[in-house]
Amino acid sequence: MQNPNGTILQLYHSGRLSAALHAFQSLPSSPAPAPLSAATYAALVAACSRLRSLCQGRLVHHHLIASPDAGLAGNTVLNNHLITMYGRCAAPDSARLVFDEMPAKNPVSWASVIAAHAQNRRSTDALVLFSSMLRAGTAPDQFALGSAVRACAELGDVVVGRQVHAQSMKSDTGSDLIVQNALVTMYSKSGFVGDGFSLFTRMREKDLISWGSIIAGFAQQGCEMEALQIFREMIAEGLHHPNQFHLGSVFRACGVLDSLEYGEQIHSLSVKYRLDCNSYAGCSLSDMYARCKKLESARKVFYGIDAPDLVSWNSIINACSVEGLLSEAMVLFSDMRDSGLRPDGITVRGLLCACAGCDALQPGRLIHSYLFKVGLDGDVSVCNSLLSMYARCMDFSSAMDVFHETRDRDVVTWNSILTACVLHQHLEVVFELFNLLQRSVPSLDGISLNNVLSASAELGYLEIVKQVHAYTFKVGLVNDTMLSNGLIDTYAKCGSLDDAAKHFEMMGTNCDVFSWSSLIVGYAQSGYARKALDLFARMRNLGIKPNHVTFVGVLTACSRVGFVDEGCYYYSIMEPEHGILPTREHCSCVIDLLARAGRLTEAAKFVDQMPFEPDIVMWKTLLAASKTHNDVEMGKRAAEGVLNIDPSHSAAYVLLCNIYAASGDWNEFARLKKAMRSSGVKKSPGKSWVKLKGELKVFIVEDRSHPESEEIYTMLDIVGMEMIKAGYVPKLPCQYTSFDHTNSDLSDEDMSMEYG
């Protein structure tokens, strides 16, 4: 190559960057490096910078150092180019080395090395360099100021950011668009979007970055309506066409607001500017449709993206998972791998979220195997999702295995296994793990404590509830509304309604609808119906909108005291006045309300008119009421309903037997008894427990295995005699005095059985 300088410069200026670098590499390296000019070296370094080619950049740098022209190695302009190249190639340490060895530095040198650190997430180092620049007496230009502000934004350090802002106001370049845009972004990202907007409105000149920064700032800080309003102003101004980043922000805002109509309008705008197929805008658009429950539209947008990246694939996989479409999510997962992309932790977490129920256990295990194969099993967030998946798929043993195998457990890991224990009724394990958790982390969060409260509510461990309550004061969680609601609910379930009410009143203005509902349900279930209804009236007077749990409490209260008409009224206003669609639970309450009052015909009519099939709880309610009111025909129908759902349900057989016995139909009684015997149905014995001095005491009907059984039965006899003295007359489960043996095949064994 006769004129390497001319050849390389010609290739560079014509945009053939790779060819220019190839020409450089073709130069002879011996006996001495070919002499190149400063302009040629600058072009080569710029080419490496634009191509992000660190390896070739280092070759050019070494060639420059070995150049026979000793003055080139100390050339300030060339060294500035080298610093910029190393920064763009993610090698800030090399950039700093070049900077430190420079014999002379100018403002561009400082700006380049600060930018090299800021753009590679070395924000603290960038600010230290900026401070050194000021101490050296070098006035920062707009690039140095912009990089320093971006470093503050990365760190979320508004205090230092305001200091840099003040410095920019003293500088001649502080009003430059680069600095102003960086400041708007910094304030918006750091949660001071109002300050960012104030600065934005004072800017004399705005470009696409200015508009994009404030739109993204509002969208990211939960001010979606403001983001859409500013986007509308930008379009109305007509000076700038939106790019993929503007559209990405407004699509996300529409998704959060569930504003499908406005989202579709912006979709049309994206088609106009041919940005709907862009991976960034298209991903946000697909996500917007998924959030608005338009999954088919989300699919169409996704498949229209020119080259979907990992984020786009993760978005559509997660959209399918949220809707419970596991099979489709798995197909997309397979297609993603076939496209050459490597799934990350977000991908598999999305898939695992779709796995729920026993049917999803096998796909969940396949995903687990894949995690081992690609090395994602060490990611604690993935392990947490895996643990939760096994819990949802009813495989508690595997969930525990994942917990024990997770090395770097975080608080989410502990909360996940505690939740799994509560879900699978391993309640004593909750307390064992909770004790370990207290020794493993400096402080507990509200979710951990709520799991302990759930287990305590199930077991009636009031003392532990009080300990948790005291702990909330100790660690400053007393104002945590979710935890306070859990305390109200648990106190009520443990029968300590006074404590529940005290805590409710102590919450004051922090009470939300869940606080009110918890106490209303607590009063209702404990038989304090009037208190529950008075509290509901107080809630309505304060303008607090009830939810579906509130009405469960209200209907339960009406049922307990026989306020049938009031209960039916409250049920009738749920949807028209409060927009709450009745659920199975509400319908069960109405059936119980009517059945307790003996209005079994109305209860049966209500069952027939429900918008869904009656469940086993509804049939059992009718069956129990049929026994109480001696309605044989209704009892038969209700028992059939129970047994159609669960043929081995012993309580249905027992209650129906009692109905036949009470009505004197001993033939049917005997037939049903034989049916129970032939099908192997046995009545499960009743059980209760209490915790005394840290030890769980369990009592089972007719059980003699307890070490203190003699003392227990002696005490029962004493209590029974005291009850009789007080005027209580026990109700016998079956009366046999008028029974005629001659027309029945009932055996003596059947006669000796008691049901109740």
Per-residue confidence band for 48, with pLDDT thresholds at 50, 70 and 90: very high
User: What integer pLDDT is reported at residue 264 of this predicted model?
Assistant: 93
Contacts for 640 with CB less than 8 Å, ≥ 6 apart: none
Examine the pLDDT at 46 and tell me if it is beyond 70: yes
Rounded Cα gap, residues 259 and 162, in angstroms: 36
What average pLDDT score do residues 384-410 get? 93
- In tens, the pLDDT along 515-556 reads 999 999 999 998 899 999 999 999 999 999 999 999 999 999
Examine the pLDDT at 490 and tell me if it is beyond 70: yes
Rounded Cα gap, residues 643 and 276, in angstroms: 56
Examine the pLDDT at 112 and tell me if it is beyond 80: yes
Instruction: Name the average pLDDT for the chain.
Output: 87
Rounded Cα gap, residues 569 and 573, in angstroms: 6
Is this model's pTM higher than 0.75 or not? no
State the DSSP string of 245-292. HHHHHHHHHHHHHT-HHHHHHHHHHHHHTT-TTSHHHHHHHHHHHHHT
Tokens standing for 447? 């979710």
Please state whether the peptide bond connecting residue 31 to the residue before it is cis, i.e. omega within 30 degrees of 0.
yes
Examine the pLDDT at 265 and tell me if it is beyond 80: yes
What φ, ψ does residue 687 adopt, rounded to 5°? -145, 145
State the DSSP string of 488-548. HHHHHHTT-HHHHHHHHHHHGGG--HHHHHHHHHHHHHTT-HHHHHHHHHHHHHTTPPP-H
Examine the pLDDT at 330 and tell me if it is beyond 70: yes
What average pLDDT score do residues 385-407 get? 93
- In tens, the pLDDT along 635-666 reads 888 888 887 887 777 777 777 777 777 777 77
Per-residue confidence band for 276, with pLDDT thresholds at 50, 70 and 90: confident
3-class SS of residue 341: coil
Examine the pLDDT at 494 and tell me if it is beyond 60: yes
Three-point CA angle 45, 49, 53, nearest 5°: 100
User: What integer pLDDT is reported at residue 728 of this predicted model?
Assistant: 75
List the one residue out of 411, 478, 475 whose CA is nearest residue 440: 411
Residue 684: how many CB atoms within 10 A of its CB? 11
User: What integer pLDDT is reported at residue 58 of this predicted model?
Assistant: 95
User: What integer pLDDT is reported at residue 634 of this predicted model?
Assistant: 85
Examine the pLDDT at 756 and tell me if it is beyond 70: no
Between 742 and 285, the higher pLDDT residue: 285
What φ, ψ does residue 136 adopt, rounded to 5°? -75, -5
User: What integer pLDDT is reported at residue 586 of this predicted model?
Assistant: 93
Q: Kindly state the greatest CA–CA separation across the chain.
A: 127
Going by their DSSP bridges, the two strands 695-700 and 687-692 should be labelled as antiparallel
State the DSSP string of 205-227. ---HHHHHHHHHHHHHTT-HHHH
User: What integer pLDDT is reported at residue 745 of this predicted model?
Assistant: 38
